[in-house]
Amino acid sequence: MTGAALTHLIDQLPQLRGRAHADAMLAPTTWFRVGGPAEVLVRPADDDDLCAFLAALPPGLPVLPIGAASNLIVRDGGVPGVVVKLARGFGEIRLEADGIVAGAAALDVTVAEHAAAAGLAGLEFLSGIPGTIGGAVAMNAGAFGSDVAGTLDWAEIVTRSGEKRRCGVHELGLSYRHSSLPPGGVVVRARFRAQPGDPATIATRIAEIRAHREATQPVRARTGGSTFRNPPGMKAWELIEAAGCRGLARGGAQVSTKHCNFLINTGGATASDIEGLGEEVRRRVREASGVELEWEIRRIGVPGAPAGPATLPHKENET
């Protein structure tokens, strides 16, 4: 992608009240801190801005929405087309008597905290999910025995053609870590059910979830969420452990020694290091158990140079 091509693309985009940047580096916005640029990164001001922008956008141009990039590998070659990232205009949280309405850019943990302060129970699990509400809906995120599918009433989605729809939970095709959103659709808002509860009890549960994550997951490392989906009736981390992959490294990427269903950037990893390490883990698990692990982390963009061989370090180098 040359500078001329980038300028040509951004010059042909429709106007919006938000911001658009050519050749925008995505690595600083991702939890892994790796990856190439977005050809154009768009931050619409609000729902109406997003609808008008997508309606006027050439229909063949690829559009990819991202959230907090907590469960995402942006490949080193960057992302062609338009990347949409929702910001302040999509972060509103509104409390209701039996639930909560949250903008797609609201952090999951913030929604859980608002519910707790209002004495609304049933959404504590959101405090254990890194990322935003939009991403949580798009992947039917879950943790600690609950998931989005079990608590969601509806989600508002802006389609690729710029139409805003309110879809009931039954229309979204939610299954384990999966949804069936319209192609190019962007979640902008969602409503979750909750029940009256004791604020102190709810806050205690959130504190327990945080303490458990801190004790068992590499939350202070440059990492993403769980790397692979749990196969039916199995735990991905147990399969990875049994295949001898705990601590396995490739370039600057490593399988966490704290929780081996997490990959971490130890400081100098490329996206190719991280993705290549994940593929090596999949290969070793397949050879050891016959189980084909499926990625839970999304991988987007154009691959860069191939990663080098994987090795098992002699000592912990996780930070």
Would you name the residues annotated as active-site residues?
Answer: 177, 226, 296
For 113-149, b/e burial (b = at least 16 CB within 10 A) is bbbbebbbbbbbbbbbbbbbbbbbbbbbbbbbebbbb
List the beta bridge partners of residue 64.
83
Q: Helix (H, G, I), strand (E, B), or coil: what is residue 264? A: strand
Instruction: Write the single-letter amino acid at 134.
Output: G
Residue 232: exposed, middle, or buried by beta-carbon count in 10 A (0-12, 13-18, 19+)?
A: exposed
Residues 187, 136: Cα–Cα separation, whole Å: 10
Residues 118, 139: Cα–Cα separation, whole Å: 27
Residues 264, 221: Cα–Cα separation, whole Å: 6
Residues 6+ positions from 96 with CB-CB distance below 8 Å: 191
Q: Give the dihedral of Cα atoms 109, 210, 312, 298; nearest 10 deg.
A: -20
Tokens of 18: 């938000």
221 within 8 A of 318, measured Cβ to Cβ = yes
